[in-house]
């Protein structure tokens, strides 16, 4: 069986499992244009999340045909202000970085992508990241500086993101 057939079968199983798992009620997933390699995601952030609680954020997961050997990419479609999300919406989190030695020596290889990760573990990690930004390796340096230097202004901006996400 080719790797693309294997990855399509695996993704199909993982999608079906996520769609039927009642414990994942705050995450909605579905295919975009019936393409198993492109998923639409809606993250309904629990109200008890310290920063983005109550928000409803749309994103896309794009899987390579080499999945699960290589990681997918994730991009928010709903505008979001966060140190680990690029201004264009691309998510920067260790588990989505390829399983190779970090050329800058910042991330240990065991923190990067491993085939044991699933779409569910990725999305749960992103939800966790929303509540606990990593400003040491920012994708959005302006958001990271505001997080470090003016927490009140950062939280005000996040509140606007949450409000706007409900209208998006």
Positions annotated as catalytic residues are 92
Return the H-helix or E-strand segment holding 40: strand 35-44
Residue-wise DSSP of 99-155: SS--TTS-S-GGGS--TT--HHHHHHHHHHHHHS---SS-SSHHHHHHHHH-HHHHH
Cβ proximity of 90 and 139 under 8 Å: yes
């Amino acid at each position: 069986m080719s790797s693309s057939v294997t990855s399509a079968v695996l993704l199909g199983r993982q999608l079906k499992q996520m769609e039927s798992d009642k414990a994942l009620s705050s995450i909605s997933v579905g295919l975009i244009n019936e393409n198993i390699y492109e998923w639409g995601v809606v993250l309904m952030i629990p109200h008890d999340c310290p920063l983005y609680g109550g928000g409803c954020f749309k994103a896309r997961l794009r899987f390579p045909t080499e999945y699960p050997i290589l990681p997918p990419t994730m991009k928010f479609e709903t505008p979001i202000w966060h140190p680990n999300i690029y201004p264009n919406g691309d998510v920067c989190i260790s588990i989505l970085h390829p399983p190779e030695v970090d050329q800058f020596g910042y991330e240990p290889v065991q923190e990067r992508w491993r085939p044991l990760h699933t779409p569910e573990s990725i999305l749960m990690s992103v939800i966790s990241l929303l509540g606990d930004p990593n400003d040491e390796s920012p994708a959005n340096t302006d958001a990271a500086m505001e997080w470090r230097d003016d927490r009140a202004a950062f939280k005000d901006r996040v509140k606007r993101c949450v409000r706007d996400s409900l209208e998006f």
